[in-house]
Amino acid sequence: MRTLLDRLPAILYVADVGVGGRWHYISSGATDILGFTPAEWTDDPGLWARQVHPDDRERVFGREDELVEPSVPDEYRFLHRDGRTVWVRDEAALVSDEQGRMRWHGVMSDVTKRKLAEAELERRAEQQAAVARLGKRALEGAEVGVLMHDALTAAAQILGVDSGAVLERTIDRAAPVVRAGLGTHLLTGLQGAVTGEIEGRDGAWGVISLAAAAEPRFADADADFVQALANILADALQQRASEDDIRYQALHDPLTGLPNRVLFMDRLGHALSRRGADVAVVLLDIDNFKLVNDSLGHGAGDELLMEIAPRLQGALRPGDTIARLGGDEFVVLLEQIPDESAAARVAERMVAVFELPFELSAGEHFAKASLGIALASDSDRLPANLVRDADAAMYQAKSRGRGRFEVFDRAMRLRTVARLSLENDLRRALERGELRIAYQPIVSLHDRSIVSVEALLRWQHPERGLVRPDEFIPVAEESGLIDPIGRWVLEAACMQAAEWHAARPDARPVGISVNLSMRQLTQRDLEATVAAALTLTGIEPSSVCLEITESVLLEEPASVSETIRRVARLGVRFVLDDFGTGYSSLAYLTKLPIDGLKVDRSFVDALGSDQRSTAITTAIVRMAQALSVDVIAEGVETERQLVALKELQCELAQGFLLHHPLPAQAISELLAAAAGGPADDARAQLRASVAATPAAGL
């Protein structure tokens, strides 16, 4: 029986109850499993108690003391003679002997393998849970630094190590940079380390590494665990990098890489609250930038901006902020600017930047810019107002000849205020019926008959008296009031023309010309406005002529051209006003449905006296004739001009010599007279009526 028992891969025993109890019998499996021979067990009653793993003693001895028969077999750790831990499964029953004493009859088996496998499984589960927790924290947007620390703590705890670090590899620095660390053996114990690669978007980013003072043993699965943590860190880093990208993009101009308006206004706000009066803003606008875009293409415009940006930066001190506000506008924030002259010196350097040509792929290009300076000491120190003042000064620089700078001053502020009050008055002018229209005839040079009339807006201001359109149209444009005003002019003029037609149904209908401003042409609903005026008044579309200036076409060629085409489809005609004062408009004559052009007064003025102007006027008239569009000479004031125009075979003319702008009533009389008798009579009549009407000076 004994031989049989000794061959079992388990330990059978009989022992006294109690921690120091005697061992009466133990099978020789004890030697294999625990390292102590049966004799050693039976000779030394304290052996068992000494060899139970210290961590398990309390529980196991408690059972002994309370004499509880374990309902489930107990499993605990035992220290093998060689020091290693052996897990035993101890199944015992209390049995009384012949004398009635209670003894343990038990079987112990080695369950170390199973226990280790279980522990391994548990560790995996813990690791998976830790990875999931970290992933969740990353998804919740925890900071990368915090995530790194969390990853290290979790890994150290689960792997049972005490040191770890997240290291960033750097290209320019030899040693990696510690981004997060745990424990003291941070860098010394790394040879026995388990590491995970944190992969960056562009090449490796770094590693997470765990180590202990004593050489730890790591399983392949542990390396997988650390790698899983590393992957989460890599994702978080990438996520943050793209968030940084987005934030960067939101605050910078993609073309030049300079700060944009948002960032600039923010910095200006900070500078103003930090420094107060010491701050200045310089606004820079490239002169005739549209021309570059139009003649050389948008690519060239972009190139120019990209060349200008670094040059301007070079003209500034390192602490100054330069930003691109959009389009061809740059703005500079100057700090520690004690006075105007200090700001002016910077502006001079900025102007000087444009002395050398810019190298564009289309070739060398000379550019100029106009600058406006506003000093915080002169303003209410609100960022937006400071930029607005610099803008006003910049416009002043433009109007004083470009390629220069102006400093915002009191006079400019007064002008701004005056402009504002004009705007307020203009707002009410429409409702109060202060706007009127004067009509200036356009006559045929053949027989001086009135072919059409141009509607010219007048404002009878209650205090200022008559305000000229040149004064208030720009205000109306800027404030947006031009929309209702423009609609009103169009409708009132068409209505008047319809009345004239109705009065003389058999006569050739007199045409009506209406001036359109830039803003009206960039408005999408112009087509609807014109269509409405036509329907409302029932006027023949072809007798309506819309006057536009060349500059309109320079500003936004694509959308404006499209608007013109759509409106022209309604049957109305277009003429180019003030022709010759703009740029490069010849191309538009062929590309757009333009029916005529008005030779600017400045050319007509010089007709016959100045050779150059005469030559230009001649060229314009010839060209128009070649393209079969109408030519109208504007501002004819002398007989000499009239003769010259006739020689050129110019068909139509307008000017004080022929007729001043007149009230509608005076035009009605002129038309009636013309219908009543020969042309000479009409002219006599006209002179009489011009002299008679108090509005002759309109």
Q: Is 563 in the site for ligand C2E (CB under 6 A)?
A: no
Nearest to 155 by CA among 180, 131, 191: 131
Print the binding letters for residues 237-266 with ligand C2E: x by CB under 6 A, - otherwise: ------------------------------
Radius of gyration of the chain (CA): 48
Residue 372 CA to residue 218 CA, distance in Å, equals 70
Q: Three-state SS for 230?
A: helix
Nearer to ligand C2E, 365 or 461 (CB): 461
Residue 318 beta carbon to Mg ion: minimum distance, rounded to whole angstroms: 50
Nearer to ligand C2E, 248 or 656 (CB): 656
Q: Token digits for 49? A: 């108690």
Nearer to Mg ion, 6 or 477 (CB): 477
Q: Is 552 in the site for ligand C2E (CB under 6 A)?
A: no
Binding residue for ligand C2E (CB under 6 A) from 517, 529, 563, 641? 517
Nearer to ligand C2E, 269 or 469 (CB): 469
Nearer to ligand C2E, 224 or 595 (CB): 595
Binding residue for ligand C2E (CB under 6 A) from 180, 282, 450, 489? 489
Nearer to ligand C2E, 466 or 615 (CB): 466
Nearer to ligand C2E, 35 or 582 (CB): 582
Q: Token digits for 383? A: 């960022």
Stretch binding ligand C2E (CB under 6 A), from 34-42, 120-128, 468-476, 586-594: 468-476
Question: What residues numbered 267-326 form the site for ligand C2E, per CB under 6 A?
Answer: none
Question: What residues numbered 406-445 form the site for ligand C2E, per CB under 6 A?
Answer: 440
- Determine the size of the site formed for ligand C2E (CB under 6 A): 24
Q: 266 burial class (0-12, 13-18, 19+ CB within 10 angstroms)?
A: middle
Residue 76 CA to residue 55 CA, distance in Å, equals 9
Residue 656 binds which of ligand C2E, Mg ion, none (CB < 5-8 A, kind-dependent): ligand C2E
Question: What residues numbered 633-652 form the site for ligand C2E, per CB under 6 A?
Answer: 634-637
Question: What residues numbered 570-609 form the site for ligand C2E, per CB under 6 A?
Answer: 577-578, 601
Residue 494 beta carbon to ligand C2E: minimum distance, rounded to whole angstroms: 12
Residue 537 binds which of ligand C2E, Mg ion, none (CB < 5-8 A, kind-dependent): none
Angstrom distances, CA of residue 447 to CA of 258, 269, 666: 63, 67, 20
Residue 468 binds which of ligand C2E, Mg ion, none (CB < 5-8 A, kind-dependent): ligand C2E
Q: Token digits for 510? A: 């007199």
Print the binding letters for residues 209-238 with ligand C2E: x by CB under 6 A, - otherwise: ------------------------------
Nearest to 567 by CA among 601, 595, 603, 605: 595
Q: Is 469 in the site for ligand C2E (CB under 6 A)?
A: yes
DSSP symbols for 119-145: HHHHHHHHHHHHHHHHHHHHHTT--HH
Q: Is 474 in the site for ligand C2E (CB under 6 A)?
A: no
Question: What residues numbered 652-681 form the site for ligand C2E, per CB under 6 A?
Answer: 654-656, 661
Q: What are phi and psi of 571, to 5 degrees?
A: 105, -5
Nearest to 514 by CA among 560, 478, 473, 561: 473
Are 600 and 579 within 8 A, CB to CB?
Answer: yes
Name the residue type at position 204: A
Residue 493 beta carbon to ligand C2E: minimum distance, rounded to whole angstroms: 8
Dihedral sign, Cα of residue 611, residue 622, residue 617, residue 452: positive
Angstrom distances, CA of residue 636 to CA of 599, 619, 680: 10, 18, 19
Are 92 and 64 within 8 A, CB to CB?
Answer: no
Residue 466 CA to residue 697 CA, distance in Å, equals 11
Residue 278 beta carbon to ligand C2E: minimum distance, rounded to whole angstroms: 44
What per-residue string of b and e applies to 249-265 under the rule 16 or more CB within 10 Å gives b? eeebbeebebbbbebbb
Residue 350 binds which of Mg ion, ligand C2E, none (CB < 5-8 A, kind-dependent): none
Q: How many CB atoms lie within 10 A of CB 640?
A: 13
Could you list the residues that contact ligand C2E (CB under 6 A)?
440, 455-457, 468-470, 473, 489, 515-517, 547, 577-578, 601, 634-637, 654-656, 661
